[in-house]
Amino acid sequence: DTAVSQTPKYLVTQMGNDKSIKCEQNLGHDTMYWYKQDSKKFLKIMFSYNNKELIINETVPNRFSPKSPDKAHLNLHINSLELGDSAVYFCASSQGFSGRAEDTQYFGPGTRLTVL
């Protein structure tokens, strides 16, 4: 069984379009995250939800809107896509959000977004 799954794996779209990426975890974790990995492989946190509540909201354009319908799901909707949004987006989950060892984060396989 896949612990953290994301769909789609690849997403190619035109500038200006709106798209969504879905994430599901079956680990029973309370916390979920969205990360962006750029072309230089730098991984940066975007958002984090704990029990469906937003706890981390980094400096991300308003075009990005996360939605957590329940603890096991965290989706990412992106409006008016721009060329600079092209990256790999990773979902992750952990039990808590302390940053300590007991709250290890488990990552999904990533969604490669290409904006043309």
Asked if 103 touches other proteins (CB under 8 A), the answer is yes
Q: Which stretch binds other proteins (CB under 8 A): 14-22, 63-71, 73-81, 107-115?
A: 107-115
Asked if 11 touches other proteins (CB under 8 A), the answer is no
User: Are 102 and 96 spatial neighbours (Cβ–Cβ below 8 Å)?
Assistant: yes
Stretch 35-94 residues interacting with other proteins (CB under 8 A): 40-45, 48, 55-56, 90, 92
Asked if 107 touches other proteins (CB under 8 A), the answer is yes
51's CB contacts (< 8 A; 6+ apart) are 30, 31, 71
Cis check: omega of the bond before 61, within 30 degrees of 0: no
Nearer to other proteins, 14 or 39 (CB): 39
Residue ranges in contact with other proteins by CB under 8 A? 4, 40-45, 48, 55-56, 90, 92, 97-101, 103-110
